[in-house]
Chain A
Amino acid sequence: MFYAPETAPIDLPTFKSTIAMPYTLTPGRSAGTFLAEMPNRRIVGSRFAGGKVIAPAQDFSPVNGDEPEELVQVPENGELTAFTRVDGVVIGLVRLDGCENAFAHRILADLADCKVGQRVAAQWASEDAGTSITAIEGFVLSPDAPVGEVKPLVGPAEPLGVINYSMALDYDHAYGPYYGRMFDELKENGVVMGVRGSNADDALLPPREIDDITHKRTGTWKACADTGTIRACSLINMEVYGQTRPVPYAYAEIVLDGASTKMIHIIEIDDLESAKQTIKPGTRVRAIWTKGERKGAVSDIERFEVIEA
């Protein structure tokens, strides 16, 4: 990089990772009622002081933050105000009759047949879509759709409280020249390689081009031992989301012999009381390598264990 900013683009393997987060979303009263009414095939809007109606229902005006006075039932017919096509699906803005706003939904028609101002009508999904806006499958072009009227919402459904939701994002992280060599050395040679600091013999782990503290170029590569010293630790006896092994175990920050930075790893323990005696800052430990073919990953070291004095 800093040495060779003119490197040619090359295709290298990436580190695959996924972040999948569980959420409980709170729709609030208006959206909660709108969604709860989807199985009843009623479209809920919000009416503001002065008579302005927007749909789908909102707890506040997206324009000026006003609170609505009441929820209403809005018609299923309206007009198309704009449209596009993404991945073969036509998406348009639809203004339902009696409403001042438009909102995005699928338009179940060929793009070539779409015109601004065209009358459209909701098409309900034939299959049960539950309490989702996709219970409206989309809007079909309907030139003769009568102009509907906004009506009071009689006997509204209980608004949904929370909605379980999840989102997963996939990543292909580049290793870069420094992490790349570190993982290659782990895989090919079973050696933990760092680079010397800008002004020190001890190695930085993981290796990097620029020393974090001095912001000067780091030094040459150095193999570290697979033995080291605990500098900080915690005995984990509580189960939390994201753990990779059963409790109890020790979480330790270990400085490998030859390195200056701490690496985080795990020490297996039999019981908390004996672990408290042996696992503490200053304790000497050795890496236990994972059996079988090395993968070029941190998991090639299965865990650390205490070196008996």
Chain B
Amino acid sequence: MGLSQVAVLASAQTELRPAWRDAQHIDLISSVVTNVFKGTGLTIDDVDFVIDSGSDVLDGRSISNCGFLGALGAHHKEEARVEEDGLWGALYGVNKIRAGASIGLIVAYSKPSESSVDLYWSSMVEPFYQRPVGFGQKAALGIQAQRYLAAHGIKDEALAEVVARRWAAAAAGGKVAMGDAPDARTVLASEEAAAPLTDLMIARPVDGAVAVLIGNADVARRAGRPPVLITGMGTSMETHSFAERTANRLDSVSNATKMALGKAGWASAAAADVVETSGSSVVGELLALEGLGLAPAGKGLDAAQDAKVNRSGGALPADPIMATGLVRLAEAAKQLSTPVAGGAKAPAKAIVHGTGGVAMQTNCVFTLEV
């Protein structure tokens, strides 16, 4: 018997808000775990295993998933925590189904509003040499951006246009809480976060939860819709030492993409009709697009203009840290399974990117097909 194909069966999300002050983690989690089954004909009893992603440091407790098991629907089930973006949780889940399980529930959540996001990042860097001098996520993203702009002669106005475009897309999608979506001028005028990046050029941390139900091909066929199959996956990690990484390139995105495309049998990521990426900053998003092979080095801006890229808005307007990549997977699967108007070409292939670590140290890529 060959390895089973694995499909995305359903997903559910809470609204992504700067702060969910009237809800605990368990409230957000139980909401998406309850909602993800609606319309599928499946129940929590059908789920063979639960994989969840979140951060103990952001949550403010050790092994925080232990306190969330009931909300996760994981009582007396096989459960595992992935301390990495939920897209890695999905990767774990896909492999479990390939190894014989039928249905898996992947959950990722985040409440950065409850803690200090700068300290969360600071806890990730080296304590002897990096932390004392103030090096952290913002500094790393700033240096990454400064180098990229200098190397390719790009102006920050062009970056601001991309950011405004992403916010407008998120506003249209209606799942991200925001006031008026900022235009390019507002993006440029927002406070300096890490020169040359302004606050709005860095992914905005938000609270929220997402649940994705995956199943083997038999279950997917019975679910009654053309299944969205996960056909390729890849991950790769850069060295922890930021200064030693290749400048102006995310090698790990290229490596993860190569792995995923090889499994899927695609010649290039350009085959995708839907592209969902997780950039930690606007320059991070351009580097990710280049790493995916959608643009040559320094030409990420061109790819970023393409209508198929980040229709959901991507990570810039809403970054539920640890859940962002799984949100991208949910959004891409939804775009592939939404019926299109008569005569229009339905999207058939998607590529999904998730990231983690300081200045996008680790990266994960999925291909989806209907």
Q: Which residues of chain A have a CB within 8 Å of any CB of chain B?
A: 1-2, 5, 7, 9-12, 14, 17, 19, 25, 27, 31, 34-35, 56, 62-63, 81-87, 89, 91-93, 101-106, 111, 116, 132-134, 138, 163, 165, 167, 169-180, 208-213, 215
From known contacts A9-B17, A14-B21, A215-B75, infer whether A84 and B195 are also in contact, taking CB-CB under 8 Å: yes
How long is the Cα–Cα vector from A83 to B177 in the complex, in angstroms? 34
Residues of B within 8 A of A7 (CB): 22
- Give the nearest-CB partner of A65 in chain B: B239
From known contacts A104-B242, A173-B114, A208-B26, infer whether A83 and B143 are also in contact, taking CB-CB under 8 Å: yes
**B221 an interface residue at 8 Å Cβ cutoff?**
no
**B113 an interface residue at 8 Å Cβ cutoff?**
yes
Residues of A within 8 A of B193 (CB): 86
The 7 lowest CB-CB distance pairs between A and B, nearest first, are: A212-B70, A84-B142, A62-B241, A176-B24, A104-B135, A210-B30, A171-B60
> What 20 additional pairs, Cβ within 8 angstroms, besides A34-B128, A104-B139, A172-B115?
A1-B14, A1-B27, A5-B35, A19-B61, A25-B128, A27-B128, A31-B128, A56-B129, A85-B192, A86-B134, A106-B134, A163-B128, A165-B127, A169-B57, A169-B116, A173-B24, A174-B114, A176-B23, A178-B24, A212-B75
How long is the Cα–Cα vector from A81 to B146 in the complex, in angstroms? 11
| Between-chain CB contacts (< 8 Å), 10 pairs | A1-B23, A31-B129, A34-B128, A83-B146, A84-B196, A104-B133, A105-B133, A116-B147, A133-B129, A210-B30
Q: Which residues of chain B have a CB within 8 Å of any CB of chain A?
A: 14-15, 17-24, 26-28, 30-31, 33-35, 44, 57, 60-61, 69-71, 73, 75, 111, 113-116, 119, 123, 127-130, 132-136, 138-139, 141-143, 145-147, 150, 177, 192-197, 239-244, 247
From known contacts A5-B14, A14-B21, A215-B75, infer whether A133 and B133 are also in contact, taking CB-CB under 8 Å: yes
- Give the nearest-CB partner of B122 in chain A: A167
- Give the nearest-CB partner of A95 in chain B: B243
Pair B70/A85 contact, Cβ less than 8 Å: no
Residues of A within 8 A of B114 (CB): 14, 171-174
How long is the Cα–Cα vector from A223 to B123 in the complex, in angstroms? 43
How long is the Cα–Cα vector from A213 to B74 in the complex, in angstroms? 9
Interface of A is mostly: mixed
How long is the Cα–Cα vector from A163 to B71 in the complex, in angstroms? 40
How long is the Cα–Cα vector from A201 to B133 in the complex, in angstroms? 58
- Give the nearest-CB partner of A32 in chain B: B128
- Give the nearest-CB partner of B43 in chain A: A215
Pair A212/B69 contact, Cβ less than 8 Å: yes
Pair A91/B143 contact, Cβ less than 8 Å: yes
Q: How far is the CB of B273 from chain A (nearest CB, A)?
A: 30
